[in-house]
Structure 1
């Protein structure tokens, strides 16, 4: 038995014993004499400092006119006992211990209102601690640790793959893109109904009403509505994967990665996806755009899914990049030793990638409707890559999938003659101005920098970072009657 659980059980037993004894109108001496045990021993039991044998408990239960089950129940005997037990448990915890304050021991004379105030203060302290804002350093460290863990397992999670395969098969899906109807069936099999609501709080993508078995999603008519399948699957994943309220920013990131992974596994089921990619490899014609179209997903989703399957099922290493039109790396994965830019902590998020890489040179092309191909010589070797550009309200971005030179033979676009040389992280590659330009303009220019708003924004707080609980609860209350 866990030590903390054992202490809690002994404390609850002691409170129940005292409750039944005083209700019977017996003193410690009187009950001790009737049960054949010293009053001092009974006192230790009532104070949770000694666990009695079952034979003694059976005798005590008989003398008190209750059953053994009554004594052993895990429920506090009354509201005051519940407060005393909770206060004791809280004061044994690491949060209270870190304050360096003395423990408060309730006595008969302690007013119930005082106990309520103390417990209420501790509850609020614990709530604020769990909702504390993660510092940028903590967030970057958590991101880096998660990326390194996924790299070590080749971005592959077999347990989630198997779970998704089973759920998709149970929906009746056979081939092709997973339909909205099949996603609805998957929800129904878990006891949920999908409801499309136009008044979802701005801070949420979906809301799951656990009490009434509903998953609320944005209206199906919104632009890019095909993403609703993924949102619904992510909401279901929390339940299927047994997620609890995240207790840290790192836990939040892990849960988000797992639900995204599960959704991708459902939209591009392993068996069908691997068969498609293996055939493309045999034809030496792997293309993210074909993979995307075959399963009706976004280019980024298809590219990320390829990173899940390529090493474990196609026997190849690769890299994935999402880069903004400002050159900043917003998402990245590699197990092919591509030298991604990092800061001193090892984090890649927000770092500027080399101007020579296809992920950035693609922005200079006028024709961006199809994938652009390029070979790049780097200090770590030569890499081939395919890049697709896109845009959002926040600006342009590129999605890149690349492989080492000897793996390019399996991909469409390997015949490209586009080639570049990157010497980064050597600053003379693309970060240091040419000597003649520097000599001409140094000290003669004063640019006004475009400040990225996210630089000054605090990391989102809350048990579910970034979510406004007030809006969520008001939404659920408004819809619970419907």
Structure 2
């Protein structure tokens, strides 16, 4: 309801209140004002606004001042409930129920009126809670990142659950195969099916009734990414997840299923043995770990953050950074001064131009990792960066450690070194004086606007998922039996 509608309804309620107090009928007051009872009824029900020239005459007839009509407060408790019910029934949540509005009249019992208002207010509250604003999502993500830092990014309970189910498949060494993933699914009572008509809002769909996990077809023979998708779908069952009741719980479940998949693809015992051997040889490298387990560079780097601190006491940092320098993901427990906003969120913040996370993309050789030492306000750090590109553009994956732990890693002998004084703007944010003098008054760029800046995040039982599409998909495939 618009603000003007609220004011019109309140004024109408106040006129009715003062008319009743004065002992006047609609016909009595209409006669004094030279109008009709039906017109006055529209005013009192908030369906017709009172024009400014009419107010002195109405106030005089009711024996009140004009300011009494203009007050935005309901005249009494009953009127307040009626006005609130009118507002709620005019809203989108009530419209979505598909039921006719309750007629608001003096014959509606007060208790029933109060119960209706409370029920609809609760519907609105739950809808608002389920629709996460970008600020709420950033807050929840920040709290989750802080919690994981306290755990050194290591979750023993999920490690144990993954170890148990990997053992079911008989996996011993090397990359987890598609056949082994299928055996794990069968153990949980599921079949893996590849279809080409998954709803666009989903990555996978699990049919709990038929015991099926629907996956997209592999675009590349082998489709290693499908192993992770299947494992994440299975994780909900293994970890006893229920439909999330808040956006914060949704994010935590997303983190947990990704962690579970990583534990299966790179089992703790095997992965730790591999890292121990490489550390003993002072030859730790993300690319070797990646190739040993047949995963992506990003998966390997993240898994090393799970294991190196917990098992080897090596504190680490990880960054996924976009082409413009914006942070997509970040983790650190080595005190790397990652930029944050005033709430502590890192997503969307811009990393220093001197960091290898940004410099690597400008180098000609993108087939191997780029190594660099960076002197920062928080100390000196060694980092290794690999670049790549995807549907949303170029990006870099950075894994690194503090200076004292660089001795365990391949690439420690690099001579690449930069000095970063960020967040001091003179480091890389403020343009050089010569350029600023030349162009400050002559440049007028048109900024690229991201719609997600203004939009609320998707709502629903599973945020961003179209339930109708999902249910139609399941119905369609159930009929194929």
Q: TM-score range by the shorter chain?
A: 0.7 to 0.9
> What is the root-mean-square deviation of aligned Cα atoms in Å?
2.1
- The answer for the alignment partner of 1:195 in structure 2 is 193
Alignment counterpart, residue 211 of structure 1, candidates 185, 209, 215:
209
Which residues of 2 match residues 295-306 of structure 1 at below 5 A?
Answer: 295-306=293-304
Number of residue-to-residue matches in the alignment = 367
| TM-score between the two structures when normalised by the length of structure 2 | 0.74
Distance across 1 between alignment mates of 2:227 and 2:121: 38
Distance across 1 between alignment mates of 2:204 and 2:462: 12
| TM-score between the two structures when normalised by the length of structure 1 | 0.73
Q: 1:122, CA displacement in angstroms? A: 6.7
Runs of 4+ in 1 over 3 A off after TM superposition: 121-124, 221-224
Which residues of 2 match residues 462-473 of structure 1 at below 5 A?
Answer: 462-473=460-471
Structure 1 residues 338, 269: CA separation in 2 closer, same or farther (over 3 Å shift)?
A: same
Cα deviation per residue 1:307-366 (whole Å; 9 max; x = unaligned)?
000101121001000000010001000000011100010100000010000100101101
Partner-residue secondary structure (3-state), 2:284: coil
Q: 1:223, CA displacement in angstroms? A: 7.8
Q: 1:450, CA displacement in angstroms? A: 2.5
Alignment counterpart, residue 473 of structure 2, candidates 464, 469, 475:
475
Q: 1:220, CA displacement in angstroms? A: 2.6
Q: Is the 8 Å Cα contact of residues 134 and 453 (structure 2) preserved in structure 1? A: no
Distance across 2 between alignment mates of 1:123 and 1:213: 39
Partner-residue secondary structure (3-state), 1:377: strand
- The answer for the alignment partner of 1:370 in structure 2 is 368
Which residues of 2 match residues 36-185 of structure 1 at below 5 A?
Answer: 125=123, 129=127, 132-185=130-183
Cα deviation per residue 1:374-429 (whole Å; 9 max; x = unaligned)?
00000111000000000012110000001000100000100100000000011110
Q: 1:436, CA displacement in angstroms? A: 1.5
- The answer for the alignment partner of 1:401 in structure 2 is 399
Q: Is the 8 Å Cα contact of residues 319 and 333 (structure 1) preserved in structure 2? A: yes
Distance across 2 between alignment mates of 1:477 and 1:343: 46
- The answer for the alignment partner of 1:459 in structure 2 is 457
Partner-residue secondary structure (3-state), 2:158: helix
Q: 1:455, CA displacement in angstroms? A: 2.8
Instruction: Flag structure 2 segments of 5+ consecutive residues without an equivalent.
Output: 1-111
Cα deviation per residue 1:129-155 (whole Å; 9 max; x = unaligned)?
387310111111100000000000100
Q: 1:440, CA displacement in angstroms? A: 1.4
Partner-residue secondary structure (3-state), 2:330: strand
Q: Is the 8 Å Cα contact of residues 195 and 216 (structure 1) preserved in structure 2? A: yes
Q: Is the 8 Å Cα contact of residues 371 and 383 (structure 2) preserved in structure 1? A: yes
Structure 1 residues 128, 367: CA separation in 2 closer, same or farther (over 3 Å shift)?
A: same
Partner-residue secondary structure (3-state), 2:436: helix
Partner-residue secondary structure (3-state), 1:134: coil
Instruction: Flag structure 1 segments of 5+ consecutive residues without an equivalent.
Output: 1-113
Q: 1:225, CA displacement in angstroms? A: 2.1
- The answer for the alignment partner of 2:264 in structure 1 is 266
Distance across 2 between alignment mates of 1:270 and 1:463: 33
Distance across 2 between alignment mates of 1:428 and 1:204: 44
Q: Is the 8 Å Cα contact of residues 131 and 461 (structure 1) preserved in structure 2? A: no
Partner-residue secondary structure (3-state), 2:290: helix
Structure 1 residues 461, 222: CA separation in 2 closer, same or farther (over 3 Å shift)?
A: farther
Partner-residue secondary structure (3-state), 2:453: helix
Partner-residue secondary structure (3-state), 1:292: helix
Q: Is the 8 Å Cα contact of residues 339 and 423 (structure 2) preserved in structure 1? A: yes
Structure 1 residues 223, 446: CA separation in 2 closer, same or farther (over 3 Å shift)?
A: farther
